Structure 1
Amino acid sequence: MDPRSEVLMRQADLFGGDLLLAGLPADDLLGQLPAAHGWSWHAGEHAAQEARFPGRSLFGVAPGERPFSSAVLFLPKSRELARYLLDALAARLVGGELFLVGEKRGGIESAAKQLKAYGQPRKLDSARHCQLWQMTVEQAPPAPDLDALAQRYHLELDDGPLEVVSLPGVFSHGRLDRGTALLLQYLGALPQGPLLDFGCGAGVLGAVLKRRYPQSTVTLLDVDAFAVASSRLTLAANGLEAEVVAGDGIQAAPAGLAAILSNPPFHQGVHTDYQASEDLLREAARHLAPGGELRLVANSFLKYQPLIEEYLGPCQTLAEAEGFRIYRAGRRA
């Protein structure tokens, strides 16, 4: 089991009744707590839970309508997201118990201070490099308005301004990251046909692609429910229509693509994880049409070029700047 789940199970007698596990890992915790149900914003972890425990896990950006008398939040990496999630849970728990669990290196002690807004927190346990905190909600906040928490910013591009809408927890929240800024300069002369923004985040690439290639079908794909919601808001803010898909990795993408564009992720929570990016490189050819191409930006220290050439074909470096490289490769015939 995940170390955080192991810490919970050391106090298993506290977790009966209508318990909500928010951000739970894809382990056996629901099996150990048969009266509990889960809320996940990670499409892969949600799918794993649904496969093992059908009907006991909700995917989305809100805790849903199902009642709960206590809740456990597995601390996310983003402080802004943690604040939203705590408010969303505490708003439903007047007089109920709210628990917070997380890794020490993920900032659990600092995050636990946020609980003071609702009552008096106390540390229950410290083990497996994790901590578990508990509090009774005495001052419940109003239910948070997620859209009101969005950060909006404008990009001045050659074909006009673009409004970007970013929700808490989304990569590069409230600003354009340097890698995507570089890739935006190299979106010209793409093959005709369907386009994919893989790991879409707030939807910057997907929105620009749809505006520059209006006749192409554009799909935006991300594993995170908050990114999917952000991308839909960005598209709507710019009067654009595209398909936005929640899915765990390139396997969720359509086939027959003319091009895959990506600033691929390599972090999961507080851990470094290259799996989604490496799967993209290995499986891209299966999703590209003949003559289709992969174009991505990556940190210069990441050894992606050998993988691209092994699984896709000859790889060209279109640009290198500020610690990033733009790679381009076409699918072998």
Structure 2
Amino acid sequence: MSLSNPSQLLLRNEDLLQSNSPLVVGCPDSDFFSHLQAAAPMAKISSYQVNFAQHQSIASRFSEQINCVFSEHYQSEVKHDLAIIYFPKSKKEYQFLLAMLAPILADNAVILVVGENKGGVKSAEKLSNEYCLSSSKIDSARHCILYEIIFNNVASEFNLAQWYEHFIVKVNDLEIKVASLPGVFSNGELDNGTQLLLEHLPKGISGKVLDFGCGAGIIGSYVNKVNSNTEVDMLDVNALAIASAKQTLALNQLKGNVFASDGLSNVQGKYHAVLSNPPFHQGIKTNYQATETFLKGIKKHLNKNATLTIVANNFLKYAPIIKAEIAPCEQLANVKGFAIHHCKIQ
């Protein structure tokens, strides 16, 4: 397996990887940990992920040798002397990570931040000011930059609750209270695609419902509030989204089952309705594979007469996949660049 460009840049600076207790945050490459073990053979290595697929890839290979954590909140009794952060997809999420990690960093710990130029990594030094004794650009190659930041030992207590953004969305005169952590899709507002989907939901939804790629849980919460006879499952690959969806359900005094899944990997049983505003970005890159795999695998989880309804940018050619893999597909709406695709199992 080839290493990503950020990982290759890190390994060009192998001397910086020497430490006793390194913490690697958001690494997309399980192979990187083999190189890290070779560079620091006596180190007690930890991996922290908010991406369930990446966590599984690493944990399946190294769980007996490395402390592998998947959670919305990393906590540790170990003080890490090195943190390697792969710059996340949003600047606010990077600030969230720094605030969360500060209490578990050793005095004068080194923070290595690496990322692609197009992904916002150039702002890392400025965004790190609150926790920075000194910083410097170490290397750049393969359209990536590596920064070294020396921790200033300012470690105020981290309170996860303070990082939720609360807002209200209104659809068809019904209000949903939403809680969203940094980095979660459509943080702080109702996106146009989800709004269009909720305005064109099938009538009379009942029974078991799956919200695939739930984000902050708006779709599943809305469906459960409108249709009290539904039993809603929500899944996402992102730990921050899962925590947000659980909080959204609680704010609206609703019940639902929220869980992590890499696509349909943890989905069991069958549903009467499946709804989704599926993601088509992985980090800063466009990626349709997850949604196409979902559409090709969901039929075995649909009951007879079940419905599938998704919203997508109207340039995405999902309708032929739905027709080929599930059932004849109709378009319920096509507005402002978004289309609603709907089918029913016969």
The alignment's TM-score, normalised by the length of structure 2, stands at: 0.92
Matches of 2:129 and 2:205, distance apart in 1: 55
* Residue segments in structure 1 that go unaligned for 5+ positions in a row: none
Deviation at residue 269 of structure 1 after TM alignment: 0.7
Secondary structure, in 3 states, of the residue corresponding to 2:56?
A: helix
User: After alignment, is 147-156 or 18-27 more displaced?
Assistant: 147-156
Instruction: Name the structure 2 match of 1:63.
Output: 74
- Matched to 1:98, the amino acid is I
Paired residue type of 2:269? A
1:73 is matched with which residue?
85
Moved more, 60-69 or 241-250: 60-69
Task: Give the match for residue 140 of structure 2.
Answer: 126
Counterpart residue number, 2:34 = 31
Equivalent residue number for residue 40 of structure 2: none
What amino acid sits opposite 2:6 in the alignment? R
Partner of 2:164: 150
CA contact (8 A) 1:20 1:72 kept: yes
> CA-to-partner distance for each residue in 1:30-58, whole Å, 9 max, x for gaps?
12222322000000000111111115210
The corresponding residue for 1:255 is 269
Name the count of aligned residue pairs.
332
Q: CA RMSD in A?
A: 1.5
1:49-79 Cα distance to aligned partner (Å, 9 max, x none): 1111115210012222241221011000111
Shift of 1:139: 4.6
- For residues 163 and 191 of structure 1, do their structure 2 counterparts lie closer, same or farther at Cα, with a shift above 3 Å needed? closer
Map 1:158-177; keep pairs closer than 5 Å: 158=172, 160-177=174-191
Does the alignment pair 1:47 with 2:56? yes
Label 1:92 to 1:191 Cα distance change in 2 as closer, same or farther (>3 A): closer
Summarize the alignment of residues 294-309 of structure 1 with structure 2, pairs less than 5 Å apart: 294-309=308-323
Relative to 1, partners in 2 of residues 1:326 and 1:9: Cα closer, same or farther, differing over 3 Å?
same
The alpha carbon displacement at 1:122 in A equals 0.6
Identity of aligned residues (%): 36
The whole-number CA distance in structure 1 between the counterparts of 2:172 and 2:279 is 27
Q: Distance in 2 between matches of 1:26 and 1:235?
A: 33
Mapped contact 1:292–1:330 kept (Cα < 8 A):
yes
Moved over 4 A (4+): none
Alignment of 1:132-281 (within 5 A): 132-158=146-172, 160-281=174-295
Q: CA deviation at 1:83?
A: 0.6
Tell which deviates more after alignment, 38-47 or 65-74.
Answer: 65-74
Question: Which residue among 99, 102, 109 is the counterpart of 1:90?
Answer: 102
SS state of the match for residue 5, structure 1?
A: helix
Alpha-carbon separation, structure 1, partners of 2:205 and 2:159: 41
What is the CA distance between 1:329 and its match in structure 2?
0.8
List gaps (5 residues or longer) in structure 2. 38-42
Aligned partners of 1:264 and 1:297 also within 8 Å: yes
User: 2: CA distance between counterparts of 1:143 and 1:103?
Assistant: 30
In 2, distance between residues paired with 1:240 and 1:179?
A: 23
Looking at structure 2, the residues matched to 51 and 4 of structure 1 have their Cα atoms a distance apart, in angstroms, of: 22
Separation (CA, whole Å) in 2 of partners of 1:278 and 1:97 = 41
Give the deviation of 1:159 after TM superposition: 6.1
After alignment, is 104-113 or 255-264 more displaced?
104-113
Judge conservation of contact 2:171–2:198 (CA < 8 Å) in 1: no
Deviation per CA, 1:194-226: give whole Å up to 9, x if none. Answer: 100001001000101111222221100000000
